[in-house]
Structure 1
Amino acid sequence: MSNQAAATSKGIALWKQILIGMVAGCAVGVLFGESAAMLKPLGTLFINLIKMLIVPLVFCSLIVGVTSMKDPRKMGRIGGKAILLYLSTTAIAISIGLGMGTLFAPGVGINIATSEAAVAAKEAPTLVSTLLNMIPTNPVKALANGAILQIIVFALALGIALTLIGDKGKPAVQVFESLAEAMYKLTELVMKVAPFGIFGLMAWVSGTYGLEVLLPLAKVIFAVYVGCVIHVIVFYSGIISTLGKLSPVRYLKGVINPATVAFTTTSSSGTLPATIKASQEELGVSKGVSSFVLPLGATINMDGTALYQGVCALFIAQAFGIDLTMSQYLLIIMTSTLASIGTAGVPGGGLIMLSLVLTTVGLPMEGLAIVAGIDRILDMARTSVNVCGDMMVATLIGKSENELDETIYNSDKTVPVSEQAKA
């Protein structure tokens, strides 16, 4: 009760502050246009603070997550569940995206000639190169460069090794546990400036991408956003209710803060601190499961990005007057699902994935020029879906492993990790 009173005395909830920052930023952007770009440094400061947290948080959280399980077989079981759920939901997401593209037909009537200036697509990594590059030849270099996939592999290996050596590994484990707790507290402090950073970001976005840019491509934006809403509210909530036997409303409330941060930062990896915090304190997922499943999801779970691929691929095909065959539809689903494993959870990563899809299916690469103009707007929605998917999988795995505190899950108040430890 005292915690609830303390939270009330502090005033407006964080997600409401963030929402106010978003609305105020949009209003300023519309009023001042490109001049609002002067506020972008506020957003850049916030994003830099988030980026500062990513590498140490992922590294320490994964090691703590693995060592807390104390059983390599359990870690393998949880990892298998997570990967299966992530890839399955990604395939569903792109199917929804293709459905939205077919339903709204955003590219019909545009009739773009192939003589438009071509866009040089960034080369997307192949599945084989992604798997080979997962192993860091120099772990220190991987940490310095922020190579998340390599950091995850090294952290998992180190965590397993510390578990296997038993008592000899306890001093090192205690160090990483202390560092992880410090990172959680630092995350809490950084999130206090989120409303100001998000205000600056939204002022810049709305001022730069005004109505004159959005209106011609409104159908694409609308199709992607409708698909994202359906995927979260219908599909994710449905799985939480049917497989997890949990309240979907409580899940939706729990994802508000991370989804809002993801919407404005457009980075799954950058939102990871907020995702881990909300999963533990609002949904009751154990530290071990959340510290293991969520960093993995930030790297390989790209449901929102896959959904975006479906809409944009159909948009480009329609805009250039190309009819896709059923085999091409299936190829888009397979390519996007597999490519999601190697797509970085950073702003703009979806364009790399889209270039791979267009090349595989044989669609004109010129289409990237059209989508790139509104990519930031689309990136906001797809990143939010990615984060909501990560939290959905963490919640389901926590429930299946009896590592979900349903008292916290069903509570209307946030329970800080420190208070959970006391309990």
Structure 2
Amino acid sequence: MGFLKTYSSMFWLLAGIIAGSIAGLIFGERVVIIKPIGDIFLNLLFTVIIPLVFFSIANAIAHIEAGNKLGRILGVMSLLFLATILISAFFTIVAVWIFPIHQQVTLSKAISLEQPGNWGEQLARLLTVSEFYELLSRKNMLPFIIFSGLVGFAAMRAGESGRAFRQFLHSGNEVIKEVLTVIMKLGPVGLGAYFAYQVGTVGPQLFGTYAHSLGIYYGFGIFYFIVGFTLYAFIAGGIPGVKIFWKNNIVPSLTALGTGSSIATIPANLNAVGRMGVPADIGSVVVPLGATLHKDGSSISSIIKMAVVFAMFGKSFDSPSVIIMALGVTVIASIVEGGIPNGGYIGELLVMSIYGFPVEALPPLMIIGTLVDPLATILNATGDNVAAMLTTRFLRGRAPAVS
């Protein structure tokens, strides 16, 4: 019953998508009449992205406490988080190259992702805007993310005088997450209506694209969970490290699957890393921050989603510039997404905004995100445990004191 309660929103969303698909198959292009229902739902999601990103990033940074010992832990931890996210993303790209997502369906004419001007001008436009109000557009997400990070850093440095503002950031983050939760109550109807429109106008070949992408995700995701985490545990503690990791990672894995939340898995993870030989001062930092900032599962799904929408809009996903940008977007999406059920929708909105995809791109992103959520949560949550072992290994110059 607990499992059904945890994933009830996902089941309702899938029910809406299935109902919409059936309506699209039966009524064909006549379902265009219900498209405005889907548009209303998507527009509500677009309006929440700016406050959601701001409070999520600024709050996370503002509540990091400074200190020499803590600073060393945060430094090593951050590098390891970044490394594992990029490793998972890069090998997902390789998997997409090996098993390419063919352009079976095109939602609209090919769009241009290129910006006019030389390299320096493009970089300036990518990272900054000239007016504050321009930050409030979802088309300028990277500048807004940088600004949000600066606000959070300033709030952290303000010390006692910034306490009230830090409380505001925390409270705002909780409120905006509830706003997203309320909006998602409309998901089964809104997304179902939009999916009916897509199936009715494009055709059932959409299902082949989704099935192919899900096959890549679950195939590579399971491989990464078993082989990748085993390799990380071996680096952290050799053969004994591998044994102690898998012996104590079962409970966190089941907890992540049952709760659908990295945040809810924190207690199980803290207990597990203690048994894995991770010192309390390291585990108490890496595990809670990892639940918010470190998401290998989301990294893999971000690449899959990008590959799908690139194919659907007639764009290649193999040029060096696209790959570099995709890796950067993956890192940002991993940081921005909350460690809560359905938190991946934030990353999907981010992918759309940064690449400038039209509104038709969001339903495919959300559908894939919904279907991969169980495995993504397991990877996100339990990846923090092996990261804690690696942090101990590199920070202390020795393997965790496994027994």
What TM-score does the superposition give when structure 1 sets the normalisation length?
Answer: 0.58
Q: C-alpha distance in 2, partners of 1:127/1:390? A: 25
Number of residue pairs matched by the alignment: 288
Q: C-alpha distance in 1, partners of 2:70/2:286? A: 10
Asked if the contact 2:140–2:353 (Cα under 8 Å) also holds between the matched residues in 1, the reply is no
Distance 1:122 1:272, change over 3 A: farther
What corresponds to 1:317 in structure 2?
310
Distance 1:72 1:359, change over 3 A: closer
What corresponds to 1:83 in structure 2?
78
Q: Encode CA deviations 1:103-149: one digit per residue, 9 max, x unaligned.
A: 3334531333359xxxx98996513313413536434445555669x
Of 282, 286, 295, the residue aligned with 1:289 is: 282
Q: C-alpha distance in 2, partners of 1:142/1:358? A: 25
Give the fraction of aligned pairs with identical amino acids, expressed as a percent.
24
Q: CA deviation at 1:327?
A: 0.7
Q: C-alpha distance in 2, partners of 1:247/1:404? A: 8
Q: CA deviation at 1:340?
A: 2.6
Asked if 1:98 corresponds to 2:125, the answer is no
Asked if 1:138 corresponds to 2:141, the answer is no
Asked if 1:351 corresponds to 2:370, the answer is no
Asked if the contact 1:332–1:361 (Cα under 8 Å) also holds between the matched residues in 2, the reply is no
Distance 1:144 1:360, change over 3 A: closer
Of 299, 302, 317, the residue aligned with 1:306 is: 299
Distance 1:87 1:312, change over 3 A: same
Q: C-alpha distance in 2, partners of 1:101/1:128? A: 33
Letter in 2 for 1:289: I
Unpaired stretches in structure 2, ≥5 consecutive residues: 16-59, 111-136, 156-162, 176-187, 193-203
Letter in 1 for 2:151: L
| Structure-to-structure mapping, 1:132-281, within 5 angstroms | 132-133=151-152, 135=155, 137-142=164-169, 144=171, 217-245=210-238, 246-280=240-274
What corresponds to 1:386 in structure 2?
380
Asked if the contact 1:121–1:365 (Cα under 8 Å) also holds between the matched residues in 2, the reply is no
Q: C-alpha distance in 1, partners of 2:247/2:357? A: 40
Q: CA deviation at 1:75?
A: 1.9
What TM-score does the superposition give when structure 2 sets the normalisation length?
Answer: 0.60
315-324 or 77-86, larger mean C-alpha shift: 315-324
Q: CA deviation at 1:353?
A: 1.7
Asked if 1:377 corresponds to 2:358, the answer is no
Asked if the contact 2:282–2:391 (Cα under 8 Å) also holds between the matched residues in 1, the reply is yes
Q: C-alpha distance in 1, partners of 2:207/2:269? A: 30
What corresponds to 1:3 in structure 2?
none
Q: CA deviation at 1:216?
A: 6.6
Q: Encode CA deviations 1:138-196: one digit per residue, 9 max, x unaligned.
A: 34445555669xxxxxxxxxxxxxxxxxxxxxxxxxxxxxxxxxxxxxxxxxxxxxxxx
What corresponds to 1:200 in structure 2?
none
Q: CA deviation at 1:360?
A: 2.7
Q: C-alpha distance in 2, partners of 1:143/1:358? A: 26
Q: C-alpha distance in 2, partners of 1:387/1:348? A: 14
Distance 1:242 1:287, change over 3 A: closer
Unpaired stretches in structure 1, ≥5 consecutive residues: 1-17, 35-58, 149-203, 408-423
Asked if the contact 1:101–1:315 (Cα under 8 Å) also holds between the matched residues in 2, the reply is no
Cα RMSD for the two superposed structures: 4.0
Asked if the contact 1:107–1:314 (Cα under 8 Å) also holds between the matched residues in 2, the reply is no
